[in-house]
Structure formats: structure tokens, C-alpha cells
Amino acid sequence: MNAIQSVYIHIPFCQQICYYCDFTKFFYNEKRANDYLVALKNEISTYVDDTGNKVKTVFIGGGTPTALSVNQLESLLSFIDKKFDMTQCEEYTIEANPGDFNDEKVKLLKTYGVNRVSLGVQVFDDHMLKELGRLHKVKDVYETVELLQNNGITNISTDLIYALPNQTIDHFKNSLNQAMALGLPHLSTYALQIEPKTVFFQRHKKGKLQRPAQEEEVEMYHILTDTTKKHGLLQYEISNFAKAGFESKHNLTYWDNNYYYGFGAGAYGYIPGKRYGNIRPLPAYIKQAMADGKPVLHIDQINNKEQIEEEMFLGLRKMQGVNKQTFASRFGFFPDKLYKSSIESLVQKGWLQEDDMSIRLTSEGKLLANEVFERFLLEDSVQI
């Protein structure tokens, strides 16, 4: 555990299932949630002993973790506090929906050291929130932010989605400006993706979901990067913007290609040499976690070739790009050994920038990131 300083814990319960969401989630039910927490604790205890495992970041995601009752939330936070040495935890995040908090829940977070809240705002428009299947209203965003700040939790991130059905450029500008007016230190913003097994996917298949044209989506992204910069939020990853010092330390664990534990239904983890994914269906997860504490659905062995590819994909998501020296310290050679022609070609296209220190995406490259990443897949015949 000492080499793994980040922990993700998945709470799969929601009061409402959003029409676009493909994460592991189930309608909240008190008994089901109680059973789940017992199973979750058994899974964690199987992998983590009681010797005071030091953690740098903890992220409780979902679902909607704050859908838990006060007693359930306290039971979870108390268990985490006992199981891990939180004295050196730099960032302790919980995801939440606006309107989920009351004074009791916020004070509970403070008591157990939660110091960052990620709010699923999505859009500042009541009608569009309803069309997304969201329960909260815009007024709940303002009330929740005020409640958190009044209780001393000021490291608050908001999530926005753009390129929504029937969303115009002016509508997105208005939504983004309302987010900026809150003056919060972090923003995550994503273009809507139509995922299988969602309500939106079914509507899309039937031709009943009208999304903005691709050129409008590109313009929204340019508006996003320009507006956040004007408000002092620096882009540090393709979809993430922060005031200096407020970058998500936990998410940087992923983008820096470092190790982390993932606990809970549908959670993913990355430990030396392996990536694993847990069972998603709730009854099956609970049954296996209670049986042996190992509710793993699949384990992927990560060889050197795959580690190198992931180092490039993930590193290029960051605005700092892939640090050549860090790459060399991990793999014993610089990226040019394997990727010289790809890098030169992409620099010529204007999609990459390269200097002595790093390789990183250009503004145009950010819009074509997936095409760029494909150029860093290695042939099976490549000798490393």
C-alpha cells in the first residue's frame, strides 16, 4: 500500500438517474445502501491492513455519495478515518449534487477532514436541467455553495456539460458566465458524449436528440478556454481549469500515470503491473465482496509497451504535456527513441509542440486529441 497513495471509493446511489450518465449507479434505497457499505468495508479491509496506510488523496465519487443518509455517511467517513492514515492527506474530495447538503452533512464532512467538494452543476438553466434528468434547480447551486463556504469548505469545483441537446452558443456563454461569477477555484467542463445504455442513447438512435453541429461545439470550446483565462482559471488538462494551486491532485494521479486503489461497484484501480475493474451489478458486487472481499471482474496485465502508450496518452492530456526527463527515468530512454517520426509529423501539422523539456498539445491539437493519441500506439513488433 505504501506505493499507492491515492484511493477512489465509489458510492453508486442516486436519487435520480440522469439521462446521459453511464457510470455504475442505482436508485437509493436505505437497506440496499446499508448492505453495500458493509460489503464495501469488507473489500477495503481485504486489501488494506490496519497499520496506518498513508494516503495523499482520497476521492469519494459516484453515483452521488451525498445521497447517503447522515448516519450512513458518518459510518463511511469514520471507517475511512480508521483504515487510512489521513494525517498527510492533501486532498479529500467528495462528489455531490447541488441541494443534497444540509448543515449536519456539511459539518460531518468538516469533522472528518473532507476539504474539497465537486459539484455536479452541469448547466445553469432549470428547463435544461430537467431535460437532462437532473433533480436540482439553479437556485440550489447558489444555496449549496453558500452553505459550504459558510462552513469553511471553499475548495469547490463545478462540473459543466456543453454541446447539450438544443443548446445554442449564447446559451452556453450564459451558463459559463454564471459559473465564473461564483468565483470558485476549479471548473471541469465536458462536451456531451452519447453513451450506450443511457436514455439519451435510445433517443439518439430514434433520431429524437438534436445536438449542436460540430463547428458549434468547437466554438463553445474556444469560448470556454478564453473565458476561463479571463477569470484567472488556467487550463491544466484538456477539460479542467483551476486557479493556481487548486488543480485536482487526485485526478493528476490518473494523468501522471501513477498508482491508485479503486474500491466499490464498478470501480477501477491501477496497481503495479495491473489494472483491474470491479463487478458492476450491485447484488453481484455485494455477494462477492462479502464472500472473499475481492469483487474483481477483470484484471489486465500491463506490460512495458502498454505503460509507455499510457504515459503518452495521459501525459498529453495535461497542458504541461509529457515531461521527457520523467519519461526517461521511468523507461530508461527518451520518447524520441520510439516516437521520433510521429512527433515530427504532428509538430509539422501544428498539433504538437516540442522543446528540450516536454512534448505537448497545441490549441488545435486539443481539439483533435484522440487523433493525436492514436499516433502513439505502438506496433506489436516494436522492440523495447
pTM, full prediction? 0.93
Question: In this structure, which amino acid lies at residue 350?
Answer: G
pLDDT in tens, 104-134: 999 999 999 999 999 999 999 999 898 888 8
Whether the CB-CB separation of 55 and 89 falls below 8 Å is answered with yes
Average pLDDT score over residue span 292-306: 96
C-alpha cell at 222: 474556444
Q: Can you say how many angstroms the Cα of residue 98 is from the centroid of all Cα atoms in its chain?
A: 18
Per-residue pLDDT at 2: 46
Residue of higher predicted confidence among 27 and 363: 363
Cα(162)–Cα(171) distance, integer angstroms: 10
Per-residue pLDDT at 198: 62
**CA proximity to 59, closest of 240, 250, 242:** 250
Per-residue pLDDT at 195: 63
pLDDT bucket at 166, cuts 50 / 70 / 90: confident
CB-based contacts of 238: which residues, under 8 Å, 6+ apart? 317, 361, 366, 369
Question: In this structure, which amino acid lies at residue 211?
Answer: R
DSSP 8-state symbol, 86 = G
pLDDT in tens, 3-13: 689 999 999 99
Cα(196)–Cα(193) distance, integer angstroms: 10
pLDDT bucket at 1, cuts 50 / 70 / 90: very low
Arithmetic mean of pLDDT over the chain: 92
Q: Which domains does the chain have, with CATH numbers?
A: 6-255 (3.20.20.70), 322-374 (no CATH)
pLDDT in tens, 13-36: 977 766 555 666 677 899 999 999
Q: In what order do the strands lie in the sheet with 352-354?
A: 322-323, 358-361, 352-354
pLDDT in tens, 273-289: 999 999 999 999 999 99
Q: How crowded is residue 273: how many other Cβ atoms within 10 Å of its Cβ? A: 13
pLDDT bucket at 191, cuts 50 / 70 / 90: confident
Cα(165)–Cα(286) distance, integer angstroms: 36
Across the strands, what pairs with 54?
85
Cα(163)–Cα(192) distance, integer angstroms: 6
DSSP characters for 221-271? HHHHHHHHHHTTPEEEETTEEE-TT-S-HHHHHHHTT--BEEESTT-EEEE
Per-residue pLDDT at 26: 77
pLDDT bucket at 242, cuts 50 / 70 / 90: very high
Per-residue pLDDT at 135: 84
Residue of higher predicted confidence among 90 and 201: 90
Q: Is the pLDDT of residue 203 over 80?
A: no
Rg over alpha carbons for the chain, rounded to the nearest Å, is 21
Residue of higher predicted confidence among 295 and 205: 295
